[in-house]
Amino acid sequence: MSAIVLIFSVVCGAFWGNSPFSAGTDAPPAGTRGRPGAYAAHPAGYVAHPGAARRVRRSAAQRLADVSFAVMRLGEAARRTGRLYAQQRSAAWAQRVERDRLQTALRRERRTAAALRRTVGAIAGAQYRTGSIVAYTLRITGSGAGKSLVRAHEQADRRERALAARARSAGRESRVLAGESATATARAAALTDRSDRLKTAREQAKRGLGAARDELRNLATTASRSGSCGGLPHAVSSAAATVAPAAVPRGEWVRPVERYDLSAPFGGAGGHWVGRHTGQDLKVPVGTPVRSVGAGRIVSLTCGDGFGISMVVRHRRDLYSQYAHLSAALAGPGEQVRPGERIALSGDTGNSTGPHLHFEVRRTPSLGSGVDPATWLRDRGVGL
């Protein structure tokens, strides 16, 4: 263990210790300016040396730290705006449905009120004429013969008053509906506007994230090939935990990444491997946080071979997990890790045909002692 730590310290020591990385802030430090870029408006893109106002040229390690943080921050921003956009879009749709319902009800009520008013007017006109005839008949006969006419007149009068009342009620209802419809229309417009703005923000975050991922991929490839294993300052993982808190695992074991597409399975044969595939490949974008599947201690962080930047965690004497083709390491050899703790960022380093995580479960720290990771996790209640 100590030998491994010592070797790592020699190889990757330059990446550990105090860093100029400015954690937990979201604005450029006073007196500094960042390199322009698709995601340059981030504090991690700036270098702040206390007492030094001049711009400082960043080293490759610093750039890797900056870009790694940018990927995590923008990834969280893209997820957050994506979630908010989905919620707002759904709320705007529901409000437009409500607006349409009220407008339909309003048109129907207005038609009813107009029809009632026309009916009342027609009856009033007819009654006026009938009333004239009744009055005339009563005047000329003065007998009980006109009583049936009087009753008919009274019935018609009552019907007219009832219809007039219904017409007034329909008018009032129309006015209420008109008010509700106007409110619903304004709300629908506001929600649609907010939804459109969130859509734009999501697209911007996605574009920035894409640019940052591309740069991270290039930096990690260079680092891995040159024997720099992508170890990041602790300030990066601390700052990332602030802007993008990790989900708290429920059990003793978790998946190595939260979301993924399964690709090459354990045991497969093909031109990519000398023998059989020794792990399970999980297709994830560059910069996806990689989690330790269980409690343990990091025993190695290596680079330069087919696995690219690769980390092994010891869970117990005969149980290890390996995470390969990484972009950067958020923790280093010797460190204790909890289940679900973010230990690295996924990548495309080493012998890799595209961004993915190569995940192994082994009986020893060495290649060749692997078991099927999907089955192993499933046996512990974790689906993969």
Closer residue to Zn ion in complex, CB, 291/358: 358
Task: Name the phi and psi angles at 336, rounded to 5.
Answer: -80, 140
Closest distance of CB 377 from Zn ion, Å: 16
Closer residue to Zn ion in complex, CB, 137/263: 263
Q: Which stretch binds Zn ion (CB under 5 A): 35-43, 165-173, 276-284, 303-311?
A: 276-284
**Rule CB under 5 A: is residue 281 a binding residue for Zn ion?**
yes
Closer residue to Zn ion in complex, CB, 281/348: 281
Closer residue to Zn ion in complex, CB, 123/264: 264
Residues 289-328 within binding reach of Zn ion (CB under 5 A): none
Q: Which stretch binds Zn ion (CB under 5 A): 104-112, 151-159, 299-307, 352-360?
A: 352-360
Paired tokens of 368? 């060749």
Closest distance of CB 263 from Zn ion, Å: 8
- Helices and strands counted in the chain (H then E): 5, 10
Closest distance of CB 187 from Zn ion, Å: 51
Backbone angle region of 28, left / alpha / beta, with phi > 0 → left and psi within -120 to 50 → alpha? beta
Closest distance of CB 303 from Zn ion, Å: 16
Closest distance of CB 280 from Zn ion, Å: 7
Which residue's CB comes closest to Zn ion? 358
Q: Which stretch binds Zn ion (CB under 5 A): 131-139, 241-249, 315-323, 356-364?
A: 356-364
Q: Which residue has the tokens 């400082």?
A: 56
Closer residue to Zn ion in complex, CB, 222/263: 263
Closest distance of CB 311 from Zn ion, Å: 14
Closest distance of CB 353 from Zn ion, Å: 10
Q: Which stretch binds Zn ion (CB under 5 A): 40-48, 176-184, 197-205, 353-361?
A: 353-361
Closer residue to Zn ion in complex, CB, 250/272: 272
- Residue 130's Cβ-count burial label (10 Å; 0-12, 13-18, 19+) is middle
Residues 35-64 within binding reach of Zn ion (CB under 5 A): none
Closest distance of CB 342 from Zn ion, Å: 21
| Run of H or E residues at 179 | helix 147-225
DSSP, collapsed to helix, strand or coil, labels residue 218 as: helix
Residues 204-233 within binding reach of Zn ion (CB under 5 A): none
CA distance readout (Å), 362 to 161, 167, 350: 90, 82, 20
In angstroms, rounded to a whole number, what is the distance separating the alpha carbons of residues 321 and 315? Answer: 8
CA distance readout (Å), 110 to 8, 36, 102, 104, 167: 81, 60, 12, 10, 10
Task: Name the phi and psi angles at 56, rounded to 5.
Answer: -110, 135
Closest distance of CB 301 from Zn ion, Å: 18
Closer residue to Zn ion in complex, CB, 215/281: 281
Closer residue to Zn ion in complex, CB, 95/349: 349
DSSP, collapsed to helix, strand or coil, labels residue 379 as: coil
Question: Nearest 10 degrees: CA dihedral of 29, 32, 37, 40?
Answer: 0
- Residue 85's Cβ-count burial label (10 Å; 0-12, 13-18, 19+) is buried
- Cα 32 to chain centroid, rounded: 32
Closer residue to Zn ion in complex, CB, 332/350: 350
Kindly state the number of chain residues that form the binding site for Zn ion, as judged by CB under 5 A.
3
Query: What residues line the site for Zn ion (CB under 5 A)?
Result: 279, 281, 358
